[in-house]
Amino acid sequence: MPPVSRRALLAAAAVVVALLAANGLAAGGTGDAGGEQVSLIQRGAGLFAAGCSQCHGMNGAGKQKPGPVGGVNNTAGIGPSLRGVGALAADFYLRNGYMPLQSPYEQPRRSRVLFSERDLRALTAYVASLAPGPGIPHPDPAQGSVSKGLRLFTDNCAGCHQIATAGGYLPDSVAPPLEQDTPREIAEAVRIGPNLMPKFSKSLLSDRDVDSVIAYVQYARSPDDRGGWSLGHIGPVPEGLVAWFVAGIVLVAVTLTVGRRIA
Amino acid sequence: MIERTTRTLDERSHTAPFGFKALRYIFPDHWSFLLGEIALYCFIVLVATGTYLALFFDPSTAQTVYHGSYAPLNGAHMTEAYRSTVRLSLDVKAGLLIRQTHHWAADVFVAAIALHLMRIVFTGAFRKPRELTYYIGLTILGLALLEGYLGYSLVDDLLSGMGLAIGYGVALSIPLVGANLAALVWGGPFPGDPAFWSRMYIAHVFLLPILIATLIALHLFLVSSLHHTQFRGGRKTEKRLVGVPSFPGQAPRSLGLMFAVFAALFLLGGLVQINPIWIWGPYHVADSTNGAQPDWYLGWLIGALRLMPSFDVVIAGRTLVPNPFWGGALLPTAVFGGLFVWPALERRFTRDRHPHNLLDRPRDAPRRTAFATAVLTFLFIVFVAGSADRAYVLMGWSYATQIDVYRVGVFVVPVVSYWLAHRICVELLRNERVEASRHAAELEAEQAAGGG
């Protein structure tokens, strides 16, 4: 399947939305809140049909195999059903630019969000309307504790995301660094388990635990740092580079200077 | 003043002949003879800073709960070893400066030994009569790697524990004796008996430093009793050494270098963070972090573990040689073994059994230079493969592709570099011969013109 550019998808979506909007205007529009929600879902349906249904199927029913399946756990190439994923997953995948994907074979990555705020809300409302599912979480890291978060993060997250949240290598994919994630995105990712990430139930990590994990992730961005230039908290690789290319070069230069015969 | 001091000493110890001899000892004038001295001064820094650290470090696996000045660790379960290292880093006066300087000194110590070894190999300085000096130097390098690994492991932070887990796996993988050996060293299955910590500690702060210091003394004794080697040229011959005397020539030079090493290490220790263990957190057996790495000088072993394709030697359903053996145990054995037999191999190949006090320039022995270059590029590629995961995360280069490229490159690049190095050496020699004959012809023409 040839990759379809995100711009083309969005252009198509825009046309559909424009048509729907015109349709809504012709019908006279609605003023009350329930009606607003309905029109939001309608708008979302249009955007979804144009931008998402190619992989996720009409009405978000999913497409098991739009093409040959590959990758770890055979997750690549599948457009999963979105029934029951709720506003939580839609909000996560759309707000961090994970979706739309250019190709169903690549790992979703953080990228520029091309939807407007209104379109994001519309798509989220539409996905949430497909079937009952979890809503958008409202974590409060101020309620969490950094020390508890560090312990939870070490036990559950550091194996992939690295202890200082610098990210890490996984088979055929990357555990992204957590430098930019908002508390809401972290709380959502914990419950979804995007890509290879495991899904953490509330019995495994309570909402309060998640608050602590977020408190630690935020702390790790600018930790109590001592001892000088931190080299990014990724351990011995940059340290070895400094040993060779700073100390090594300086000291060899000193031997070149003092080793020369003066008289 | 020196005269008075030597007289005072001589009247009480009769050491004046040694003293005068030592002061008159001749050092050749070349920067590359100072690389080993960098390592020597790093060792002095290591002993001095290590002594300070030992005043505060508690090598105990006793479990404790942290309640200290570093809030994110409050309430965390950890060993006394880790707790005392966090305390000495964050609460003890100058503790972090000394700990970081100690760690930087270790990194630079091994780097300086590696550079020194390259000089020895590329100039043929290991040849008769200096084989013994060379073997001792190699032993120091091997012990330094072990000493560094123990220092990294003793702290019991997250990286320490993962490093020990890998070491334990490699120990287990040694055919036939591995399981017993690991049980003997660790005192039981991983993470081992508390006595294992005592063993690492006594080895790190006493046995290995004493052994290294003794070998350094022997190394220097042999260097001075056989006298330095020197490059060809001028009045230098196999019998006559040209250079500066220890005093007043070499002493200020060497002292200057010493202070430069001290300055560089303490500046790094104060200005550049190394191994922030309070950020890594304590180790528990089930914990891990992505991207854990050893210090640079063991990076080639991690690289080898990653590059080695996955296969075990299985005979009749029993695994005789598990995979970690190839990269973790066989490679270092082969590299050190190869370095140890190199002088004997070269004697056999070249049928040259004469003593050599004059050094070769790398070009003078094209095949040796080419072979050493090939070995070095091989090790360098294995080493770089060890950080493939970081390159993947930072640069986005596919990990699998990187490993494939390295698996091919590790054989192809050394062959190419052998050919290239050999070619460069041969061309340089040829060029010299052309220049020499041109020079001779010009002289002849001049004389002919003058005479006619």
Calculate how close chain A gets to B127, using CA atoms only, in Å. 24
CB proximity B287 to A under 8 Å:
yes
**Domain ranges within chain A, ordered by starting residue:** 6-130, 141-221
User: Nearest C-alpha of chain A: how many angstroms from B63?
Assistant: 16
Of A220, A240, A248, the CB nearest to B295: A240
Note whether B296 contacts A255, CB cutoff 8 Å: no
* CA-based nearest distance A107→chain B, Å: 12
**CA B108 – CA B93 distance, rounded (Å):** 24
The C-alpha atoms of residue B104 and residue B110 are separated, in whole angstroms, by: 10
Mean pLDDT (10-residue bins), chain A, 263 residues? 54 55 44 74 93 88 67 66 93 93 84 92 95 95 96 95 93 89 96 92 96 97 92 91 96 91 62
| Burial of A65 from C-beta contacts in 10 A (0-12 / 13-18 / 19+) | exposed
Q: When comparing pLDDT for A18 and B392, which is higher? A: B392
Q: What is the pLDDT of residue B69?
A: 94
Eight-class DSSP state of A233: G
* Closest of A209, A109, A210, A223 to residue A164, by C-alpha: A223
pLDDT of A74 reads 59
From the list B32, B33, B393, the residue facing A174 with the nearest CB is B393
Q: Could you tell me if B265 lies within 8 Å of chain A, comparing CB atoms? A: yes
- Dihedral of CA A226/A232/A236/A241: which sign? negative
Q: In Å, how far is A211's CA from the nearest CA of chain B?
A: 15
Q: Is the peptide bond before B332 cis (omega within 30 degrees of 0)?
A: no
Instruction: Provide the token pair at A228.
Output: 């000088």
Is it the case that residue B274 has pLDDT exceeding 80?
A: yes
Residue A237: list chain B partners with CB under 8 A.
293, 296, 299, 387, 390
Q: Does the beta-carbon distance from A154 to B392 stay under 8 Å?
A: no
The β-bridge relationship of strands A173-175 and A168-170 is antiparallel
Size of interface A-B (CB pairs under 8 A): 195
Instruction: Using alpha carbons only, give the angle B123, B128, B131 rounded to the nearest 5 degrees.
Output: 85
B281 contact residues in A (CB cutoff 8 A): 150, 154, 163
CA pair distance B59, B200, nearest whole angstrom? 9
Q: Work out the mean pLDDT of chain B and round it to a whole number.
A: 93
* CB-based contact A237 B279, cutoff 8 Å: no
- For domain A141-221, which CATH number applies: 1.10.760.10, 1.10.40.30, 1.20.1540.10, 3.40.980.10? 1.10.760.10
B100 CB within 8 Å of a chain A CB: yes
Write out pLDDT tens, residues B5-57.
878 888 888 877 887 788 888 888 889 999 999 999 999 999 999 999 999 99
**What are the strands, taking DSSP E only, across B353-400?**
358-359
B158 touches chain A (CB under 8 A): yes
Instruction: DSSP letter for A61, please.
Output: -
CA–CA separation, B105 and B118 (whole Å): 20
Q: For B86-107, write each residue's pLDDT tens digit.
A: 999 999 999 999 999 999 999 9
Whether A227 and B100 lie within 8 Å, measured CB to CB: yes
Cα–Cα distance for residue pair A193/B341, rounded to 1 Å? 55
Taking the Cβ of residue B319 and every Cβ of chain A, the question of whether any pair is shorter than 8 Å is answered with no
Chain A closest-CA separation from residue B143 CA (Å)? 19
Instruction: Chain A: give the shortest CA distance to residue B25, in Å.
Output: 16
Question: Over pLDDT 70: what percentage of chain B?
Answer: 100
User: Could you tell me the two tokens for A207?
Assistant: 């909402």
Inter-chain contact A150–B76, Cβ cutoff 8 Å? yes
Cα distance between residue A255 and residue A249, in whole Å:
10
- What distance in Å separates residue B345's CA from the closest CA in chain A? 31
Q: Which of B279, B293, B399, B403 to mutate to test the interface with A (most CBs of A within 10 A)?
A: B279
β pairing state of B318-321 and B77-79: unpaired
Residue B43 structure tokens: 């060792």
CATH code, B29-283+292-297+319-342: 1.20.810.10
Is A261 touching B (CB cutoff 8 A)? yes
Quote the pLDDT of residue A207.
Answer: 96
What ranges in A199-248 are assigned the alpha helix state H? 207-221, 236-242
Taking an 8 Å cut-off on Cβ atoms, the answer to whether B293 and A235 are in contact is yes
Decide if B170 contacts B324 (C-beta within 8 A).
Answer: yes
Distances, alpha carbon B74 to alpha carbons A165, A213, B69, B287, B331, in Å: 20, 15, 8, 18, 42
ipTM of the complex in this document: 0.92
Structure tokens at B384: 């770089």
Name the token pair of B396: 């986005």
pLDDT, residue A26, reads: 42
- Cβ contact B387–A154 (<8 Å): no
pLDDT tens-digit series, residues B399-417: 889 999 999 999 999 999 9
Chain A contact set for B97 (CB, 8 A): 227
Least confident of B27-31, B100-104, B143-147, B198-202: B27-31
Going from N- to C-terminal start, the domains of chain B cover 29-283+292-297+319-342, 361-445
Q: Mean pLDDT, to the nearest integer, of B330-338?
A: 97
Residue closest to B329 by CA, chosen among B308, B352, B355: B308
